[in-house]
Amino acid sequence: MNAELTGFEKPESIKSLAMIRTRAVVGVSAVPVMVEVHLANGLPSFSTVGLPETAVKESKDRVRGAIINSGFEFPAKRITVNLAPADLPKTGGRFDLPIAIGILIASGQLPGAKVSAYEMIGELALDGHLRKVSGVLPTSLACGNDSHQLIVPSDNANEAGLAENTCAWHADHLLGVCQHLVAKGDMGQCPHNARIAKHTIYYPDLSDVKGQARAKRALEIAASGGHSLLFIGPPGTGKSMLASRLPGILPDLNLDEALETAAVQSVTQGEFDQISWLKRPFRSPHHSASSVALVGGGSHPKPGEISLAHNGILFLDELTEFSRAALEQLREPLETGEIHIARANQSVRYPASFQLVTACNPCPCGYLGDGTDRCCCGANKVEQYRAKLSGPMLDRIDLHVHLPRISVSELRRDSSAIEATEFVRQRVCEVRDVQYTRQAELNSKLAGAMIEKHCGLEEGIHQFLEIACERLHLSARAYHRIIRLARTIADMAGSHSIQQAHIAEAIGYRSLDRQ
């Protein structure tokens, strides 16, 4: 194939400079980047400046192959590509397409009149085909805010279409983009109806869990107020089953929450799911996960499990098997709902507003308190086992729930007689509506003056809580968490004020604070 076959004509005046708009992803934001391409006389060379990392530097070979194999001429000149701003690190293959278009414009093989209205991203194959890249959703949202049109690979079309305010186009080959710029052909427009879920979202049903009435009650309380939860019990008592049912009893994500969550998944290579992007995340990392895997980081920072669980559930099974250093790094995100990662060359912020659900055995062998004599762990072993969880970490978990062993007769119970997820979910939605109407946020997020305003206690009830805190040696954080938890229990009971029974039940869920 040659240039004559594609219908392009060289303009009489050849410019040696071209400027193409694109974006780099920093955290979950898309920062504007200008790709400046300059051709000069001299020995043929290709240099890229502007803090490019290895994948960006290697783009010169991909771009050369794509241009030649698309029927164009690769200029035998001194080519300089500047990615501005120069102090922003550039990563990935997303700059291949704008670099290639810039070279074609600077060499006079494409006109540059229309290109100023577009931003473009995409990785090029050696034959000119466009490959999908990460971070398309934040880029598309940012382009819409700046009233720019966007060109993306066809594999990213549905993702780019989630931004309704953006006019996004997709192509599967470099030639398709070139033909669109010279009005010789049209690219496909990214469909905005991609935001509509095409498949029903299914969650495991709560009726599958036999027995464990108290644990189910705690699960509903946690869902109603957004509280953190710890299940403790012997193997096979349903800890993991209960945790996996929590997303099903939570309300659906609203559009803003879904876009926030999808943006985090978008910047993580291979995580974005175009079919179930409206589904609440449920992340369950293995206990061998490192600190970086949990909270994010790396030489080129990427989001960790806590950010991928944004607006969803982070489930840590076998909690005591996680490294203590990794668990300690969860303390700040649990309070702030975000994580800041600082490196020598950049600092990024990722959202991390997740609901923490954890599970562990009561002792090293796992059979302490199961009603049998199988446990052979002494008091010292049990104390050392539980000491793997620091006091500050346990302080941030609202509900500590012990699960007993289930009898065989209970396992034979008909599932149809057990309350299903849809009924529990309806109650949870009603309780959350009460909280949003009263204070515009969940009870677990209340702080400072908001606690005094919406969680006031009568004098006798406050004295009861004060005595309990003194006897259990509870911290100020645990004190406020008990009040917030009691507020949720009161909302579930339809009570406008917090009663002593609500405080007593909330204190009952602080079992690990007792000797």
pLDDT digits (tens, 9 = 90+) for 467-501: 999 988 888 999 999 999 999 999 999 999 999 99
The answer to the question of residue 201 being in a domain is no
Residue 226: CATH number of its domain: 3.40.50.300
225 and 115 part of one domain: no
In three-state secondary structure terms, 442 is coil
Q: What is the pLDDT of residue 15?
A: 64
423 and 281 part of one domain: yes
Cβ 128 vs Cβ 174: under 8 Å: yes
Q: Region 422-426: what's the mean pLDDT?
A: 95
Q: What is the pLDDT of residue 67?
A: 97
Q: What are the start-end ranges of the H helices in 271-330? A: 291-295, 305-308, 324-328
Rounded percentage of the chain residues whose pLDDT exceeds 90? 68
Gap between the Cα atoms of 171 and 161, Å rounded: 14
346 and 400 part of one domain: yes
The answer to the question of residue 504 being in a domain is yes
**pLDDT score of 187 more than 80:** yes
Residue 86: CATH number of its domain: 3.30.230.10
Q: What is the pLDDT of residue 142?
A: 95
240 and 131 part of one domain: no
The answer to the question of residue 341 being in a domain is yes
* Structural domain boundaries, residue 340: 206-443
334 and 463 part of one domain: no
Task: Give the bridge partners for 188, in sequence order.
Answer: 170
Question: Of the given ranges (199-203, 430-434, 445-449), which has the lowest mean pLDDT?
Answer: 199-203
Q: Sorting pLDDT into bands at 50, 70 and 90, what band is 14?
A: very low
pLDDT in tens, 221-266: 999 999 999 999 998 899 999 999 999 999 999 888 999 999 999 9
Average pLDDT, the chain: 90
**pLDDT score of 427 more than 90:** yes
Question: Of the given ranges (190-199, 375-384, 447-456), which has the lowest mean pLDDT?
Answer: 190-199
The answer to the question of residue 476 being in a domain is yes
456 and 437 part of one domain: no
* Reported pTM: 0.88
439 and 450 part of one domain: no
Q: Which of 427, 443, 459 is the last residue of a domain?
A: 443
168 and 186 part of one domain: yes
As for how many domains the chain has, the answer is: 3
**pLDDT score of 5 more than 50:** no
**pLDDT score of 10 more than 80:** no
Count Cβ neighbours within 10 Å for each residue of 420-459 and write b for 16 or more, e otherwise: ebeebbeebeebbebbeeebeebbbebeeeeeeebbebee
R_g of the chain, CA atoms, integer Å: 28
